[in-house]
A and B are shown apart, each in its own frame.
Chain A
Amino acid sequence: MSLNVVSLVSVGRHPQSGRARRADQDGRAVELGLKLVAKALSVVHVGDPDDPVLRQYAGMGLPSMTILKQDKSIDAVPILSQFLQQEKIDIVLTGVRAESGESSGMVPYLLAHALGWPVVARVADIVSVKDGEAQVLLALPRGQRRAVSVKLPFIASVDHAAEIARQSAFALGLRASIESVESVGEVDRIRVDWQESVAKSRPKRLKTVKAKTAAERFKAATAKPEGGTGKVMKNETPKEKARAIFDLLLEEKVIR
């Protein structure tokens, strides 16, 4: 049984220069798709078919890409869900958050809701797909991983922890055929009212001291972080001491 995997890509933005680029997480999603089904991967974008950035995705070794032609002000989710409904798809891969636009990270959730599929957030890897079920590794904070299994079809958002996207070959990208599909969409009405401006740097939080007397202010200025020593075990046997440490580790769930 051959898998039908679709990877949704967007136009990214370089964090320093601000130039359009292959979005990092979307690139990883394409990489994961290539790992699963190699060239059978379909890559879909909603937007301008002539955008040169799309060739950077194609340059990862894709023979073709599908572009649902749309204007920037159009909401991509209904168009995508319509498109995904037409085909028999097993896995949809997206990034966690786009690097342009609202960056809300809601696309996988809204698509999943519209299609009635489960959504798996922050995927680090899809280890295997067998008998209509996928074994997925999720990225947790602090470099941890969680194993989850999920029935096909599903939507997965791909985390920074996934395999990095391979280098894009310029000539390969140029040779890929870009298939432009006409679609009907609606203007994102809610967004029209928003005011957008260049991000201001966020104020750093200052440590405010709410002391009322001089003595309290003095104490606040000289206080060590975290007052008081904890439990000290001196005269117990080594066994008891080790047990106490081990119990604390168990209680904190750092030992599994």
Chain B
Amino acid sequence: MSNVSSLGISSLGIVRRDPRKEWIARNRLHPLYHEVINEGLGSVVGPSGLIRKNPHQIGFIGPNGIKRIDRLKGNGADTSNKRHGSAQEVVLPLHVVTTPDFYLVVVPDLVGGRLSSHDKDILGLAHALQGGMEGNGAVVAVCFGDVKETQFDLAGVDRLIHLTGTEFEGFTPEARVAALVQIDTQLAPQHWLFPDSIHGGTDLGSRLAASLGERPATQAWQVIPEKVVCRGAGGSLDIARQTPRIVMVLEECGNAIDETRHEVLPISVDALEIQSAHLIDHGQVAVDPNEIPLAEAEFIVSAGNGIHNWAQYHQTAQALGATEGASRVAVDDGFMPRFRQVGASGTWVTARVYLAVGISGAIQHMQGIGQCEKIIAINTDAGCDMVKRSHLSVIDDSDVILSELMQLAQEYGVNDKPSQENSPEESQNVA
């Protein structure tokens, strides 16, 4: 790694040091200093007879492909071997529960099929609870339907109950609660933990509490084995009470697991008997995406300075059923209204999927999309910051890609009959 030629490699591959050269290299005033330092560095005699240093040849290429200049002139410790070792991935210790004395069951929301940070916090909280209780408990996660999460082990799931089947797909709170009641008789868990969230956790927890006849703790924000503290009276009251069996926990009330791996052993549930549902799901209704506040929108197609055909952009956003966003330049240039601006001086968005078309990714813009999960970039410049941050980048002209996307959307038949499906919304506004 050193660029000082005091290290010679013999024919046997043994590194041989030249102490004299090293000594000269340490002394900048030594008459032979420059010769020793520049040995092998290609110093050139210029046309006027002056010796020229080629600044581009100083230094060496480090292990990460980054150019390094060794100012220690070979006196630094040789770290090449060490570096190799530290690049290895650390394997976290496995937390094993062989025969659990009791169970704590967590029913995560699994928004979009993945554990949300709320879910992970509650799994962490379950482990903290388990640690404070006597005996050896296992944390069970109950998941329904389609699951995309691959890291249950790192989130702290000791046992996993995954219920699949058409009866659990989509909006099926009744079937899910029937399953939870069955799990309750099967495992007799010490506690049930639900995220107190609008993603369905509150609904499921309340239904389970009603059918088990338990008095749940809702909006809990401090949970220890003996006591919970819950918010009451519209958030103006703290209610401290004994920890009941069913607890619905607010956001950020536990710390997610990050130092252990867990087994994720499957538990099967005895045959379920599910009665026909009273609530019949007719799927999500198409809502005019531009009616949704930008900060809440789930899917944003954002336009920047790289859009040249604005009519086409609007059509594509409509065809994809996305909410429109914009960078500041697009707004300043008058192509988009101010309330569509994403970023530090606009709206901080929380979209799950953010499609940035022709946006370079200035820091002021990136601040606004910090909470987005999946970012897709369409840009002509492969080196821009937006591409660095995104999960999928397409390097091409925005016009071309947008027109292809619009075609795909039309073939797929997104938003087939927007006007008709929006009518309930409109009648609601009229009423």
Are A241 and B404 in touch, CB under 8 angstroms? yes
Are A118 and B112 in touch, CB under 8 angstroms? no
A120 contacts chain B at the CB level, 8 A cutoff: yes
CA distance in complex: A233, B392 (Å): 8
Are A148 and B353 in touch, CB under 8 angstroms? no
B258 contacts chain A at the CB level, 8 A cutoff: yes
The minimal Cβ–Cβ distance linking A194 to chain B, given in whole angstroms, is 4
Contacts of B242 on A, CB cut-off 8 Å?
193
Contacts of A104 on B, CB cut-off 8 Å?
206, 216, 218-219, 232
Are B233 and A13 in touch, CB under 8 angstroms? yes
Are A147 and B388 in touch, CB under 8 angstroms? no
CA distance in complex: A72, B55 (Å): 85
Contacts of B408 on A, CB cut-off 8 Å?
242-243, 246
Give a binary string over A240-256; 1 marks a CB under 8 Å from any B CB, 0 the rest.
Answer: 01111110111011111
Residue of A12, A113, A118, A137 near B278 (CB, 8 A) is A118
- Segment 386-412 of B: residues with Cβ below 8 Å from A: 387-396, 400-401, 404-405, 407-409, 412
Q: How large is the interface on B (under 10, 10 to 19, 20 to 34, 35 or more residues)?
A: 35 or more
CA distance in complex: A110, B237 (Å): 23
Are A106 and B210 in touch, CB under 8 angstroms? yes
Contacts of B202 on A, CB cut-off 8 Å?
105, 121
Known: A143-B291, A196-B232, A242-B405. A254 touches B278 (CB 8 A): no
A210 contacts chain B at the CB level, 8 A cutoff: yes
The minimal Cβ–Cβ distance linking B61 to chain A, given in whole angstroms, is 21
B62 contacts chain A at the CB level, 8 A cutoff: no
* A: number of interface residues (CB 8 Å): 79
The minimal Cβ–Cβ distance linking A90 to chain B, given in whole angstroms, is 14
CA distance in complex: A249, B320 (Å): 9
Known: A140-B284, A142-B296. A195 touches B241 (CB 8 A): yes
Q: Is the interface of A mostly helix, strand, loop or mixed?
A: mixed
Residue from the set B236, B296, B322 with the largest chain A CB neighbour count within 10 Å: B236
B352 contacts chain A at the CB level, 8 A cutoff: yes
Are B112 and A125 in touch, CB under 8 angstroms? no
Are B394 and A245 in touch, CB under 8 angstroms? yes
CA distance in complex: A59, B395 (Å): 61
Contacts of A99 on B, CB cut-off 8 Å?
233-234
B162 contacts chain A at the CB level, 8 A cutoff: no
Give a binary string over B196-236; 1 marks a CB under 8 Å from any A CB, 0 the rest.
Answer: 00110011001101110001101101000000000111111
Are A245 and B405 in touch, CB under 8 angstroms? yes
Contacts of A230 on B, CB cut-off 8 Å?
390-393
Contacts of A242 on B, CB cut-off 8 Å?
394, 401, 404-405, 407-408
Residue of B370, B376, B414 near A256 (CB, 8 A) is B414
CA distance in complex: A197, B230 (Å): 10
Are A146 and B284 in touch, CB under 8 angstroms? yes
Contacts of A202 on B, CB cut-off 8 Å?
221, 252
A239 contacts chain B at the CB level, 8 A cutoff: yes
Instruction: Flag the segment in A42-50, A149-157, A175-183 that touches B.
Output: A149-157
The minimal Cβ–Cβ distance linking B274 to chain A, given in whole angstroms, is 14
B238 contacts chain A at the CB level, 8 A cutoff: yes
Are B282 and A109 in touch, CB under 8 angstroms? no
A226 contacts chain B at the CB level, 8 A cutoff: yes
Are B239 and A106 in touch, CB under 8 angstroms? no
Are B285 and A146 in touch, CB under 8 angstroms? yes
Are B293 and A143 in touch, CB under 8 angstroms? yes
- Name A's B-contacting residues (CB within 8 A): 12-13, 15, 18, 35, 97-106, 109-110, 112-113, 118-122, 124-125, 127, 137-138, 140-151, 154, 163, 190, 193-200, 202, 205, 210, 225-226, 229-234, 238-239, 241-246, 248-250, 252-256
Q: Could you list 10 further interchain pairs (A-B, Cβ under 8 angstroms) beyond the known A127-B424, A148-B282, A163-B428?
A: A97-B234, A98-B234, A102-B233, A109-B209, A234-B382, A241-B404, A246-B405, A246-B412, A252-B353, A255-B412
The 3 closest A-B pairs by CB, nearest first: A242-B404, A118-B278, A230-B391
Report 21 cross-chain contacts, Cβ distance below 8 Å, ordered by A residue. Answer: A98-B234, A102-B233, A103-B218, A104-B232, A118-B174, A125-B424, A137-B285, A142-B292, A143-B292, A143-B296, A144-B292, A150-B278, A154-B278, A197-B237, A199-B238, A210-B258, A229-B390, A231-B391, A232-B387, A245-B394, A249-B353
